[in-house]
Amino acid sequence: MNGADHLVHSLLAGEVDVCFANPGTSEMHFVAALDRIDRMRCVLGLFEGVVTGAADGYYRIAGKPAATLLHLGPGLGNGLANLHNARRARSGIVNIVGDHATDHLANDSPLTSDIEALGRVVSRWVRTTRSAHTLRADALAAIEAAATPPGQIATLALPADAAWGELPAGQAPLAPDSMRPAVAYRPFESAAVVAAARALSGPDTLLLLGAGALDDEALTDAGRIAARTGCTLMTEFYTAKLSRGAGRVSAARLPYAVDPTVAALARFRQIVLVGARAPIAFFAYPDKPRRLAPAGCAFITLTEPEHDGRAALAALAAELGASALAPAHVASRRTIDAGALPTGRPTSDGIAAVLAAYLPEHAIVIDEAVTTGRSFGPPTASAAPHDWLSVMGGSIGFALPCAVGVAIAAPNRKVVALEGDGSAMYTIQALWTMAREALDVTVVIMANRAYQILRGEFAGVGAGTPGRRATDMLTLDRPTLDFVAMARGMGLEAARTDDLSEFARLFGRAMSQPGPQLIELVIG
Ligand SMILES: Cc1ncc(C[n+]2csc(CCOP(=O)(O)OP(=O)(O)O)c2C)c(N)n1
Ligand SMILES: [Mg+2]
């Protein structure tokens, strides 16, 4: 057995049994070990941004880390943007990054680079294994770091000689699942529970929900707290995974832009933060505030993301004597008559009505629809129960890779990726992995032929009105992107429409048929 065999056995021992991969020469012994040893599901991504985004999506649904396999510094570098998103989502990932054999590094051959430096940009834990002998301990330490709640990125550089190095025959491999990492949330402060209970009273107080406070159970307790105190419930704009839909407690999402956020927060005197941050502007604008709550508003932190938000909300409900109350703000199911759906040119509201009508129970929606998706929240609140995932770090090119990982984590649930046309083009190769792995993903491309958001931002930051050269940097026409051809070229069924009724027909059909498919929705 060589080091690579021990690495694979160690990953499996720590319950890491999916590997999103894009290998090269330095990783061939690891690839050979993956080949020899059963149980690891290996999924090829044709760009490292697909690999790392898939690992993020996988963690959000599976609740345990996947491994990535990346080729030296450049492979890790290609994957950084989606690792950045994963770090912001607090997803646990074990990156295995191949490196040159130790005695070859001094020769400074072309792919030599500082892997640890690149890894540190996104990782909580970075290490280069020294030899085959240190691999087992290093792999287990990486898994433990990655699985530390709510989740962290661990990057292990794997020199080729550590992978091919033979170990004494006596060292038996670890058994699968034998080294489940024993890591727990940090306990929350009971003083914070008392302070939050005192602060919440009436609609001018806000319970702002973020990391760890977004699943059905946490939302139910938040609804009970609202029933008892009359407080307002909201979530942060971005949510790693939000339980939504009919029968669940529905909390409005904070808006994206500065002015509507300031308006939405204007009345609050006290804000209790549950895994959330005090609201700030996404970007700085010359004449707008950066901190968006009103002056004098008091913040009470019930939990940080490292705490168990669900348990803290249960404790807060108990402190308020609300544990047995019926929760407030439960979304009711509106059955939507297909004949009554909006028709004509696609609008955000019209698209949302179609989604609400056809999303099947337990669907997982990944939202990178950018400007088109801004108002999808309220109309879909009464859809069948579903989960809603957003890009957490603002780095676009997330939804399609994320959908790959999500679909692998939840093979029996329908996955819907709502994707801007500009965002899609960063990591469009994810479609190929969807086809190859026969994943049950429906991709809807919002084809407005522009970086639409940036048109607004141009004026918003005070840069004036875009001229010809600037406009060319904000539009995606000339030539028109043909997503149907791209999807078919990568093995997906695909269709295009610029009509809401046809979209409803296509989307409804996609929801009732398994397998990867793409709808290009042209928005004029
Ligand atoms: C990695 C990365 N590069 C660039 C940007 C800047 N950016 C933000 S949104 C956007 C365009 C989004 O276009 P699209 O997905 O078509 O959505 P639309 O704005 O048209 O609704 C760009 C380029 C970013 N956020 N992340
Ligand atoms: Mg666009």
85 Cβ closer than 6 Å to some ligand 1 atom = no
């670890």: which residue's tokens?
A: 174
DSSP 8-state secondary structure symbol assigned to residue 106: G
In the numeric block, which tokens belong to residue 419?
Answer: 């994707």
Could you tell which of 392, 427, 451 is best to mutate to test the pocket of ligand 1, judged by most ligand atoms within 8 Å of the CB? 451
250 Cβ closer than 6 Å to some ligand 1 atom = no
Rounded CA-CA distance 216/186 in Å is 21
Residue 479 class from Cβ within 10 Å (0-12 exposed, 13-18 middle, 19+ buried)? exposed
Residues 323-378 have pLDDT tens digits of: 999 999 999 987 777 788 999 999 999 999 999 999 999 999 999 999 999 999 99
Question: What pLDDT shows up at residue 341?
Answer: 92
Q: Whose CA is nearest to atom 22 of ligand 1?
A: 451
Q: Which ligand is nearest to the CA of 418?
A: 1
Q: Which ligand is nearest to the CA of 423?
A: 1
Structure confidence at residue 519 as a pLDDT band (50, 70, 90)? very high
Over the chain, what is the mean pLDDT?
97
Residues 259-285 have pLDDT tens digits of: 999 999 999 999 999 999 999 999 999
Between the CA of 397 and the centroid of ligand 1 the distance, in Å, is 8
Backbone angles phi, psi at 374, to 5 degrees: -55, -35
Q: What is the mean pLDDT of residues 383-394?
A: 97
In the chain, the percentage of residues whose pLDDT exceeds 70 is 100
- CB under 8 Å to 335, separation ≥6 — which residues? none
Q: Directed axis angle between helix 309-319 and helix 190-199, to 10°?
A: 60
Question: What pLDDT shows up at residue 391?
Answer: 95
Nearest atom of ligand 1 to the alpha carbon of 394: 25
Nearest atom of ligand 1 to the alpha carbon of 420: 15
Backbone angles phi, psi at 274, to 5 degrees: -115, 100
Q: Whose CA is nearest to atom 23 of ligand 1?
A: 451
140 Cβ closer than 6 Å to some ligand 1 atom = no
Q: Whose CA is nearest to atom 18 of ligand 1?
A: 452
Question: What pLDDT shows up at residue 249?
Answer: 98
Q: Whose CA is nearest to atom 1 of ligand 1?
A: 395
Question: What pLDDT shows up at residue 371?
Answer: 97
- CB under 8 Å to 266, separation ≥6 — which residues? 294
Between the CA of 30 and the centroid of ligand 1 the distance, in Å, is 36
For residue 479, say if its preceding peptide bond is cis, omega within 30 degrees of 0: yes
Residues 292-306 have pLDDT tens digits of: 999 999 999 999 999
pTM for this entry: 0.98
Between the CA of 396 and the centroid of ligand 1 the distance, in Å, is 6
Nearest atom of ligand 1 to the alpha carbon of 448: 20
Nearest atom of ligand 1 to the alpha carbon of 453: 19
451 Cβ closer than 6 Å to some ligand 1 atom = yes
Within 13 Å of residue 172, how many CA atoms lie on the same side as its CB?
4
Nearest atom of ligand 1 to the alpha carbon of 419: 15
Question: What pLDDT shows up at residue 403?
Answer: 99
Nearest atom of ligand 1 to the alpha carbon of 476: 16
pLDDT of 57 > 80? The answer is yes
Question: What pLDDT shows up at residue 171?
Answer: 80
Q: Which ligand is nearest to the CA of 521?
A: 2
Amino acid at 421: D
Could you tell which of 78, 83, 449, 453 is best to mutate to test the pocket of ligand 1, judged by most ligand atoms within 8 Å of the CB? 453
Residues 94-151 have pLDDT tens digits of: 999 999 999 999 999 999 999 999 999 999 999 999 999 999 999 999 999 999 999 9
Structure confidence at residue 181 as a pLDDT band (50, 70, 90)? confident
Between the CA of 423 and the centroid of ligand 1 the distance, in Å, is 6
448 Cβ closer than 6 Å to some ligand 1 atom = yes
Q: In what order do the strands lie in the sheet with 41-44?
A: 41-44, 18-21, 66-71, 93-99, 153-159, 125-128
CB 404 within 8 A of CB 50: yes
Q: Whose CA is nearest to atom 25 of ligand 1?
A: 395
Between the CA of 480 and the centroid of ligand 1 the distance, in Å, is 17
Question: What pLDDT shows up at residue 339?
Answer: 82
Nearest atom of ligand 1 to the alpha carbon of 424: 15
CB 165 within 8 A of CB 104: no
Q: Whose CA is nearest to atom 16 of ligand 1?
A: 422
Between the CA of 374 and the centroid of ligand 1 the distance, in Å, is 14
Nearest atom of ligand 1 to the alpha carbon of 395: 26
Question: What pLDDT shows up at residue 370?
Answer: 97
C-alpha distances in Å from residue 94, one per residue of 17, 52, 496: 11, 10, 38
395 Cβ closer than 6 Å to some ligand 1 atom = yes
CB 465 within 8 A of CB 459: yes
Nearest atom of ligand 1 to the alpha carbon of 81: 1
Rounded CA-CA distance 314/197 in Å is 12
Q: Which ligand is nearest to the CA of 455?
A: 1
In the numeric block, which tokens belong to residue 489?
Answer: 């070229």
pLDDT of 464 > 80? The answer is yes
Structure confidence at residue 384 as a pLDDT band (50, 70, 90)? very high
Residues 205-255 have pLDDT tens digits of: 999 999 999 999 999 999 999 999 999 999 999 999 999 999 999 999 999
Question: What pLDDT shows up at residue 203?
Answer: 96
Q: Whose CA is nearest to atom 17 of ligand 1?
A: 420
Amino acid at 153: I
Report long-range pairs for 101-109 (Cβ below 8 Å, ≥24 apart): 101/26, 101/159, 101/160, 101/161, 102/130, 102/159, 102/161, 102/162, 103/161, 104/160
CB 11 within 8 A of CB 143: yes
Other C-beta atoms lying within 10 Å of the C-beta of residue 400: 31
The helices-and-strands tally (H runs, E runs) of the chain is 22, 18
Question: What pLDDT shows up at residue 169?
Answer: 80
Within 13 Å of residue 212, how many CA atoms lie on the same side as its CB?
27
